[in-house]
Amino acid sequence: MLRFLDVSFNTPEKNLAFDEALLDSVEGGAREEILRIWESPSLFVVLGVSQPLRAHVYEDVCARDKVPILRRCSAGGCVLQGPGCLNFSLVLRTELHPEIRTIRDSYCFILGKLAAALRLRGVSASHKGISDLAVGGKKISGNAQKRRKHAILHHGTLLYGMNPELMEKYLRDPVDRPQYRGTRTHRGFVSSLTLPVDELKTLLVEAFNASPKPATPKRLELRTAINLMHEKYKLNDWVHRR
C-alpha cells in the first residue's frame, strides 16, 4: 500500500521541489512508495526539463499578467497549472514493478490503472499518444516522468475545471504533437472531467492502492524541498536554461 500525501503548497516552486524531494527520498532508500495529490491555488506555466522557453510560452503575456514560468525536473510538454488542474505524483521503486522498467511500459501500466478507475465511474477514458489520457478524443490528463536508478517519479494531471482559453493565452501551440491531436488548438484539443474533485482524489487512491488516510510530510522531505526550491526551482538560470 502506497503512502498517501494530500499536500499542496502556496508557491509553485515549492510544489515542484516537493515532488523531486519525494523522489530523492525513495531513491535514497526510503521503503514506502508514495502517492501525492496537489493543486496550485494560482496560475503558473511549467516547462518540461529540456524544452526551450521561447518556443513554448508567450513570455511577454505571462510577465504582463504576473503568471510565473517554471521548469520541472521531468520530461514532457509545457502545461498551464492552477485551479481546476488536479495533480498526482507517484514515486515507485523499480525493483517492485517490472512493468515500469521501460518508459513505454510504465506509461501503459500507470495510465491503464487510471483509465480503468475512470471507466468504473462511467468515464470512457483511454490511453492516447505516449503519455495522455483522453475522453472522446480530447485530452483530460497529461503525464511526465523523471527516472533514477532505483525509483521513478511519475506525475500527471486530471483536468476538471481548467479554462482552455487561458492555455491559448499563455502557451504557444506545440510543434511536437501527438498524432491524435492533429491540428487542433488547445481549445479544440483539451477537455475537463465532470467528476467532483473529491471523487477524483478517491479514484486516485483506489487506482494506485494507496492508504486512505493521508500521511504527514517528513521533516527531511520538507528540508530537501526547501533546499531544492532555493538552489534550483527559483533560479533564473534553471528556468532559462534553454
- The domain in which residue 64 lies consists of 3-239
Amino acid at 236: N
What pLDDT score does 179 carry?
Answer: 93
100-to-111, 145, 147, 208, 229 alpha-carbon distances in Å: 11, 11, 10, 14, 28
- The verdict on pTM exceeding 0.95 is yes
Contact 38, 15 (CB under 8 A): yes
For the domain that residue 203 is a member of, what is the CATH number? 3.30.930.10
Number of domains in the chain: 1
Query: Which of 4, 6, 24 lies closest to 232 in space, CA to CA?
Result: 24
In this prediction, residue 129 carries a pLDDT of: 96
Q: Whose CA is closest to 188, among 168, 172, 169, 174? A: 168
Q: Tell me, what's the pLDDT at 77?
A: 94
> For residue 3, what pLDDT is reported?
99
Mark the ranges of the chain whose per-residue pLDDT is less than 50.
none
| Nearest C-alpha neighbor of 58 from the set 185, 232, 174 | 174
The CA distance from 94 to 27, in Å, is: 10
